């Protein structure tokens, strides 16, 4: 049945739309459609959950339902990458208004399936309910493949800080969308759907990463968590950053003095940043700084960054 509202589709119809055509993934013993899903695991399992709320984490005027589904999966899986795990599968809780078009849910589900395939994650099941506003919660389970988790607490003086993935693209996209523009497409698309470097977290763990985090709230904010958990000073060198042409264009167009702000404080790209013993950085990672003994702060070219800090989910805006 095409068209109609979520209320007309009903809860069971809604679930059928989401779980149909699901591929079975390795390790999944019992998939969606029963009271529980079951997967088999050897050793430690990593778990993380991530919630997105309509009009707070996405706007329907900026993002398609497919984008929302893809982003919800990508953001959750990025947290698994950050400890060096590979996804086994995920469960989704979806609360939506009964008046919402059923096609929204169909497109959302298509996005979820698409990103699950990219990430190598199975969709194990979920729950739906009616609510005044749309809320999506994704809970992911990951396989540490016999390794210890890479935490935020392992950075040591003498380590280098390295980056895998993009920084500040989603934030540049948000900045132009916020002003009513739709281009450059590259940054607008980055805001709509992040591209976490799937598999890079496990590769970093195999290479001996001492600490790792995914950049969801901004590089300074997230490396701040590493500095505090590890009890070290992190020094970033801006000459090591790659500022892309669309970011320069956006900074110029919106009258921002320095596109570096996107790189240092922009969230939502879900790049990975990790610390490694010098000489132990895996291929494809960019060295952006180093770790020193000292108070637990992040310095930019030797000084405290004076611009705006990263996103704080409870402050209601940029700090």
Shortest Å, Cβ 79 to Mg ion? 4
Q: Which residues are CB-contacts of 307 (< 8 A; sequence separation ≥ 6)?
A: 258, 260, 261, 264, 265
Q: How far is CA 35 from CA 10, 15, 38, 106, 297, in A?
A: 18, 13, 10, 22, 47
Q: Which two tokens stand for residue 280?
A: 């132990």
Shortest Å, Cβ 50 to Mg ion? 8
Nearer to Mg ion, 76 or 176 (CB): 76
Run of H or E including 225: helix 219-230
Of the candidates 108, 137, 135, 163, the residue with the CA atom closest to the CA atom of residue 47: 137
Q: Which of 67, 115, 214, 269 binds Mg ion (CB under 5 A)?
A: 214
Q: Work out the burial of residue 220: count CB atoms within 10 Å of its CB; fewer than 13 is exposed, 13-18 middle, 19 or more buried.
A: buried
Shortest Å, Cβ 82 to Mg ion? 5
Give the binding-site size for Mg ion (rule: CB under 5 A).
3
Q: Which stretch binds Mg ion (CB under 5 A): 8-16, 96-104, 206-214, 303-311?
A: 206-214
Q: Which stretch binds Mg ion (CB under 5 A): 137-145, 153-161, 168-176, 216-224?
A: 216-224
Using rule CB under 5 A, residue 67 touches Mg ion: no
Nearer to Mg ion, 125 or 194 (CB): 194
Q: Which stretch binds Mg ion (CB under 5 A): 87-95, 215-223, 259-267, 288-296?
A: 215-223
Shortest Å, Cβ 48 to Mg ion? 7
Site string for Mg ion, 282-311 (x = CB under 5 A): ------------------------------
Nearer to Mg ion, 195 or 214 (CB): 214
Residues in 112-151 that interact with Mg ion by CB under 5 A: none
CA within 13 Å, CB half, 8: 10
Using rule CB under 5 A, residue 79 touches Mg ion: yes
Q: Residue 85 in contact with residue 46, Cβ under 8 Å?
A: yes
Q: Residue 137 in contact with residue 69, Cβ under 8 Å?
A: no
- Contact residues toward Mg ion (CB under 5 A) are 79, 214, 216
């Amino acid at each position: 049945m095409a068209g109609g509202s979520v209320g007309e589709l009903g809860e069971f119809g809604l679930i059928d739309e989401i779980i149909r055509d699901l591929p079975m993934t390795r390790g999944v013993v019992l998939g969606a459609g029963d009271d529980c899903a079951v997967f088999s695991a050897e050793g430690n399992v990593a778990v993380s959950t991530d919630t997105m709320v309509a009009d707070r984490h996405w706007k329907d005027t900026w993002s398609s339902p497919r984008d929302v589904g893809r982003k919800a999966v990508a953001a959750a899986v990025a947290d698994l990458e950050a400890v060096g795990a590979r996804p086994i599968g995920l469960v989704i809780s979806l609360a939506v208004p009964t008046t919402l078009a059923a096609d929204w849910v169909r497109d959302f589900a298509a996005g979820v399936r698409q990103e699950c395939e990219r990430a190598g994650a199975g969709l194990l099941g979920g729950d739906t309910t009616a609510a005044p506003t749309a809320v999506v919660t994704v809970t992911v389970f990951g396989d540490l493949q016999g390794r210890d988790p890479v935490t935020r607490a392992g950075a040591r003086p003498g380590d280098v800080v390295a980056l895998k993935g993009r920084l500040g693209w989603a934030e540049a996209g948000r900045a132009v969308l916020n002003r009513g523009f739709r281009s450059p497409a590259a940054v607008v698309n980055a805001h709509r759907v992040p591209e976490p470097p799937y598999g890079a977290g496990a590769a970093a763990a195999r290479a001996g990463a001492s600490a790792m985090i995914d950049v969801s709230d901004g590089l300074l904010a997230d490396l701040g968590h590493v500095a505090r958990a590890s009890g070290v000073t992190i020094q970033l060198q801006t000459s090591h950053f790659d500022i892309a042409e669309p970011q320069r264009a956006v900074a110029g167009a919106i009258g921002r003095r320095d596109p570096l702000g996107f790189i240092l404080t922009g969230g939502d790209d879900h790049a990975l940043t990790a610390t490694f013993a010098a000489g132990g950085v895996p291929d494809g990672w960019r060295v952006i700084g180093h770790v020193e003994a000292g108070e637990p702060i992040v310095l930019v070219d030797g000084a405290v960054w004076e611009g705006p800090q990263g996103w704080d989910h409870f402050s209601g805006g940029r700090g």
